[in-house]
Chain A
Amino acid sequence: MNATSVRIVTLKIDDRELSAREDRTILEVARENQLDIPTLCHLDGLSSSGACRLCLVEITGIRRLLPACVTTVGEGMEVYTNTPRIQHYRKLILELLFSERNHVCSVCVSNGQCELQELARKLGVDHVHYPYLMPELPVDASNPRFVVDHNRCILCGRCTRACDEIEGAHTWDMRGRGIETRVITDFSDPWGASSTCTGCGKCVHVCPTGALSEKGRSVAEMVKHKHFMPYLTLMRKEQS
């Protein structure tokens, strides 16, 4: 896109007057201005899918709540990122997520390092008032270096996008649909048997929870590094 063709718009986020290029998302503009919007499926450097709905914001004049991670800014837009209405829904969405699978932090390798746990703390989710669905899902430890524990997976799709968009292997995808959706490697083969996995470990580091982890970590030991993602994306772009 030609740089000169991009307009600059002015907008308000949480009553602050801001200006930004019109092709930026509300999330990008908010974060550049130190306004925090919670996110889970979004990760800088990867494409956004608008799946988790935690970044929903209110925009004056639009009845529907829109996800900040994929909604671009517009001239004269008035955005509210933290109204009681939004806080209420964000909490309920997180509660739903906790009720879906098994997220017992005390036995998790990511305890203390988990984005889901951190969000729950920030948003004040201290109990879940929906019944736990708790399916018993497998743990696949067939890969010599990594483990996938489906019980902790929140289907954010970061691993699939990192593997496809950054590593270019597209080892990960999702199978099934609805509540039966699972992340898979290759032909739903055991990870260790994957013929396409390069073993780069990006998926593990972008995973927000303890679903993907390095082997041999015990409770609370799995520290993840995701800040390389935007850097890699940038380097890819420069090269092509």
Chain B
Amino acid sequence: MKDNLRDDELVCRCEEVTVGDIRKAIQAGARDVTEVKLRTRAGMGLCQGRTCELLVQQIICRELGISADKAGFSTPRTPQRPVTFGTLGGDGFDK
């Protein structure tokens, strides 16, 4: 979206990463969703990128002039949805 790509707009709301942060990461050399994530934390939040993945992809495509299949995708880690420390560390684990 051409006229509203403002630097102060939020892209990853879980980690509060803005358009400007992502642009800076790209200027610093990030070339796909994972590289942007490693530099900015976009995609590392509660939703593990389910919300922001596409938005990050779009900005990468636009800034670098590449197609979506070159921009990669988010790579969620365990746990894929929020789990409390109590659950993980509690004595609930099977033997």
Partners in one complex: no
Query: What residues of chain B have their CB less than 8 Å away from a CB belonging to chain A?
Result: none
